[in-house]
Structure 1
Amino acid sequence: MSFGDPNNPYGQPAQPGPGQPQGQPGYGYPQGQPQQPGYGYPQAPPVQPYGGGGFPGGPGGQLEMPGGVKAARVMLWVLFGLSLIGTFIFGLAAAAVSAAKNDEQLQDDVQFQQLADYSGSLLWGMTVIALLTAVISIFLAVKFAKGGSGVRVMAIVFGVVVAILGIYPFVGFGLIYTVMAILIAVFAGKSDGAAWFNRPRY
């Protein structure tokens, strides 16, 4: 029994032959092509590449601090702790030199008095520098979470200045300061640091 033209989409589908597998789509349907989603089904939005329009985690801005900025913040806390210890040590040393300078047995020793004047002035100066470093370190560490581009610039300048001070007058022990200060300036100056501090606030 014949059903007419097999290419007619309005005719009845042809029965599968002995070698043809069951379950194939009938005539009128494109074979080998995936069906397009019907109307009314929303498609997923295109994936936004990293750094294209903000960072993952929030609309238009990054909610999570980048790793480099986190590391710089940790180093600021470390500098704060070290600077507090340094302030205490240098202050005690300066007070000890001043007390020895006023000793009646050493007041006639000209060389000691000159050394005490120089050492006392240097130690008091180092005490003030260590105290300022502690204050600025904790200020920047707190402001890293919500600060803007001004905090970033301040962190870079602070890192450069502390790196120089780590070479002189804080020789030896100041090497730790120098390394951490350079890393703070580098991490704050990198592109992800700039994106973090320049992110829009909502």
Structure 2
Amino acid sequence: MSFGDPNNPYGQPPQQPPAAPGYGYPQAPGVPPQGYGYPQQPAYPGYPGTNQMLPQTMPGLLVTARVFLFIISAVQILAALGWFYVAAIANDVSNKADSYSSSNDDVFSSFSDGADIATGVLVLIALIAAGLAALSITLGVKFGRGGQGVRITTVIYGALGGIVGLIMLFVGLDSGMASAVIFPLIWVVFAAIITAAPVVSSGTAWFARPRY
């Protein structure tokens, strides 16, 4: 009886050919099966920002600064209207002085010239206030989709406003009147928040976020 006989029931079973790798047969231990039903995911080695959480909503400090910008713009609009009104009064005074003046009356002539200069200065101040109001509104609106340009402009604008507020605050303190201190103090607080909001980490991340 030979072990090599294929009909021998006590011999070794014949060797089977290895099965070809395919569906349902993993190729090697520890290697995920490839083929139908296992799509390969693309790898992005070194892709920046994959583990960083980008802000999806505007941070609260920026929202506060945005509201303050709109409030300041309203004050600037009212100031511009007030200066235009005063300039109109000065212009009326100048016209009255012209009507009363004569070639031999230097008093009314000088008064008319002074009223004309005052009218020009008042109109210039009103235009500056209107321009600042437009800038405040533009910055507030651009907070939603603005980039680094809006951020830097807001910081500079808030810092300059804070300097003006501090000057008014010192003048009010020297006057000794409580009413002359309240408004400059509020202005300084608004300016400080507007300046700080784009500088803190949450504000910086908001303006640096990708836009699609």
Structures share fold, TM-score greater than 0.5 = yes
Matches within 5 A, 1:23-62: 53-54=51-52, 60-62=53-55
Does residue 102 in structure 1 map to residue 87 in structure 2? no
- 1:74 and 1:141 in contact (8 A); partners too: yes
* Corresponding position: 1:90 with 2:83: yes
Query: Within 2, Cα distance between the matches of 1:163 and 1:118?
Result: 30
Task: Give the alignment of 1:90-169 within 5 angstroms.
Answer: 90-103=83-96, 104-105=99-100, 108-109=107-108, 112-113=111-112, 115-166=114-165, 167=167
What secondary structure is seen at the aligned counterpart in 2 of 1:189? coil
Residue in 2 aligned with 1:182? 192
The TM-score with structure 2 as length reference comes to 0.58
Q: CA deviation at 1:105?
A: 3.5
Change in CA separation of 1:53 and 1:185 when aligned onto 2, cut-off 3 Å = farther
Structure 1 SS opposite 2:197: helix
Distance 1:199 1:74 in 2: 21
Instruction: Work out the percentage of aligned pairs sharing the same amino acid.
Output: 31
Tell me the TM-score normalized by structure 1: 0.61
1:178 Cα deviation after fit? 4.2
Q: Which runs of 5+ in 2 are unaligned?
A: 1-49, 173-179
What amino acid is the match of 1:74?
V
Letter matched to residue 127 of structure 1: A
How far 1:88 sits from its partner (Å)? 0.9
CA contact (8 A) 2:95 2:112 kept: no
Runs of 5+ unmatched residues, structure 1: 1-51, 55-59
Task: For residue 107 of structure 2, give the secondary structure of its aligned residue in structure 1.
Answer: coil
Aligned-pair RMSD on alpha carbons?
A: 2.9
Deviations 1:132-176 (A, max 9, x none): 1111111111110111111100111111233344547xx959724
The one-letter amino acid paired with 1:136 is: L
Match of 2:57 among 45, 52, 64: 64
> What is the aligned residue count?
144
Greater Rg by CA: 2
